[in-house]
Structure 1
Amino acid sequence: MDELDWQALPDFQKMQYRFAARIRDPQGTADASGDLAEKSPGLVETEVDPTLPIEERRWKAYEDLFFNNVQEFFSKLFPVLKSVVGETRWAELVREYMQKHRARTPLFHELGEEFLVFLQQGYDPQPQDPAFMLPLAHYEWVELALSVDEADGFENPPGLTADLDAVYELSPVAWPLAYDWPVHELGPDFMPEAPPEMVTTLLVYRGADDAIQFMVLSPVLYEFIQRLANPDVVEIVERPTARTVLQGLAEALQVPVADLEGFAQSVLQDLIDRQVLRPVV
């Protein structure tokens, strides 16, 4: 937000800032000595009386309404994260988000990404917080992100057969993901203190029925999909065939390419049937 001169603001905007500051941080703005400008970046003046002529019982109603709405939304979006940190800590995180974070969107379905930004940049970690909070939150957010993604998925014709000599592209609503933590297994009954040696690789995609599907990938399959989806060329005409990608993968693994061809053929067919890959024509 650009810097604003408090004295130049119309009275109704001053009231909006005061109201918003009180809603975000009731304890911090409960007395007239609070620093509203600090809580509303962009204001030049700092000695601003944040009080408003509103009865405390009415304040309480507004405060509870806003907080409960935000907490309910995040609780539905991040149910596993909430369960591992517990009710009390979860309420503290939601309040800290409201106090510190300045969302750049008014859209509710985009607030999940704002919470991820808060976990990356704004929140104050506590000793009891698990180290996997951010990757777990990202994993849970992906489901909503793909659900509302405006990109169209693929509609491969029935009977389309995999061909190693074809060039393939990845659906825009299919995301290969890699995490240091086993995010798909985390929960109150499984909370490791350190990440395992092996990275967790997943494919999350939106199917033809618009349902979000999750696949656990082997590291080899993840690398194969990544190389198909992100070749080191820009022009479609220069993109490698599946066989060329497989040859590069075999060289990296130091195994004969023939050992991977059967695997690649079946994988391609499965991903075509799932509308995750389609040949470039």
Structure 2
Amino acid sequence: MHERLHEQLMSMARYVRDPQHNAPPPGIEARRLAVYRQLFFGNVESLLSGSFPVIRASLGAKQWQALIESFYADYRCQTPLFTEVSGEFLSFLEEGAGEALDLPPWVLELAHYEWVEAALLLSDSGEPVHNAGGDLLDGVPVLSPQAWPLAYQWPVSEIGPDYLPQQAPEQPTLLLARRGNDLQVHFSRLAPLAHALLASLQARDCTGREHLHALAEAIGVDSAAILAQGLALLENLREQGVVRGTRN
């Protein structure tokens, strides 16, 4: 009895996920199965439409529908939480769904850009222990966990139905995503030095002086040439709340 019920439920689940490649369970009207299909698929499609509105609008209804159907049929989410489905969709794209469905090459980066906003809004990362007035040059600067430096090959902040680039520009799009005190996520452009410094702060713990020395080596200049500019940048980032201070 239990095995029979299990097989009936699995048969229905397979059909609801992918009716094109799975037979319907016996004994259930097609009309009723269509209701179940629309209920479950419609909820997922609605959730992802709200999470990725620019991708949805840019791909158009037909290609967007095919993408969501592929995700719904083929991908096995690792979480039951609706708030994390957008992250699962991003993982689905990272695993190569774009190539299989012949999606535009900018879809993955645009999906990440749209996902960042929700991820930062829902982030529960606690405030790190720090000295707000610490020496940013000889102390170890602390980056806010709600401030993420981002780098994209495609101009993700400009892509939309009216601008669908065919070729990536020569210069990357460097951004800072930050959740402010107003509990909203704000995006701002970054200069290459600012992005490199923030990425360095995110990657390793060392003094501000050591971060700037490593950056100077990377671009082939003497560290003294960027020390004053780098310190001014760190102080400016502290004023904005992007750098919280230094480690105790």
TM-score when normalising by structure 2: 0.88
Match among 175, 188, 194 for residue 202 of structure 1: 175
Q: CA-atom RMSD, angstroms? A: 2.4
1:193 is the counterpart of 2:166:
yes
Q: CA deviation at 1:154?
A: 6.0
Instruction: Return the letter of the residue paired with 2:83.
Output: H
What SS does the corresponding residue of 2:100 show, helix, strand or coil?
coil
Match among 86, 90, 93 for residue 116 of structure 1: 90
For structure 2, list consecutive stretches of 5 or more residues without a partner in the other structure. none
1:11 is the counterpart of 2:1:
no
Which string of whole-angstrom CA distances, capped at 9 and with x for unpartnered residues, describes residues 171-224 of structure 1?
Answer: 222222221111111112222112122222222122233221212212211111
- 1 CA distance for matches of 2:101 and 2:5? 38
Instruction: Return the letter of the residue paired with 2:191.
Output: S
Q: CA deviation at 1:155?
A: 9.2
- Kindly indicate whether the alpha-carbon contact (under 8 Å) linking 1:116 and 1:134 is maintained by their aligned counterparts in 2: yes
1:219 is the counterpart of 2:192:
yes
Match among 116, 125, 143 for residue 100 of structure 2: 125
- 2 CA distance for matches of 1:88 and 1:163? 52
Sequence identity (%)? 37
1:275 is the counterpart of 2:241:
yes
TM-score when normalising by structure 1: 0.79
- 2 CA distance for matches of 1:90 and 1:169? 41
Which string of whole-angstrom CA distances, capped at 9 and with x for unpartnered residues, describes residues 100-135 of structure 1?
Answer: 1111111111111211222232636344x2111111
What SS does the corresponding residue of 2:125 show, helix, strand or coil?
coil
Q: CA deviation at 1:163?
A: 3.6
**What count of residue pairs does the alignment treat as equivalent?**
246
Q: CA deviation at 1:140?
A: 0.6
Q: Choose 1 or 2 for highest CA Rg.
A: 1
Identify the range of structure 1 (132-141 vs 243-252) with the bigger mean alpha-carbon deviation.
243-252
- 1 CA distance for matches of 2:159 and 2:135? 35
Identify the residue that residue 142 of structure 1 maps to in structure 2: 116
Identify the residue that residue 39 of structure 1 maps to in structure 2: none
Q: CA deviation at 1:11?
A: 2.4
Does the C-alpha gap of structure 1 residues 153 and 273 become closer, same or farther in structure 2, counting only changes over 3 Å? farther
Q: How does 1:1-281 map to 2 (within 5 A)?
A: 10-29=3-22, 34=23, 50-121=24-95, 123=97, 125-127=100-102, 129-153=103-127, 160=133, 163-231=136-204, 239-277=205-243, 278-281=245-248
- Kindly indicate whether the alpha-carbon contact (under 8 Å) linking 2:67 and 2:101 is maintained by their aligned counterparts in 1: no
Q: CA deviation at 1:265?
A: 2.9
Which string of whole-angstrom CA distances, capped at 9 and with x for unpartnered residues, describes residues 68-94 of structure 1?
Answer: 111111111011111111011111111
Looking at secondary structure, tell me which structure has more helix per residue.
2
Q: CA deviation at 1:261?
A: 3.4
Which string of whole-angstrom CA distances, capped at 9 and with x for unpartnered residues, describes residues 8-61 of structure 1?
Answer: 9622221221121111112323xxxx4xxxxxxxxxxxxxxx423222221121
For structure 1, list consecutive stretches of 5 or more residues without a partner in the other structure. 1-7, 35-49, 232-238
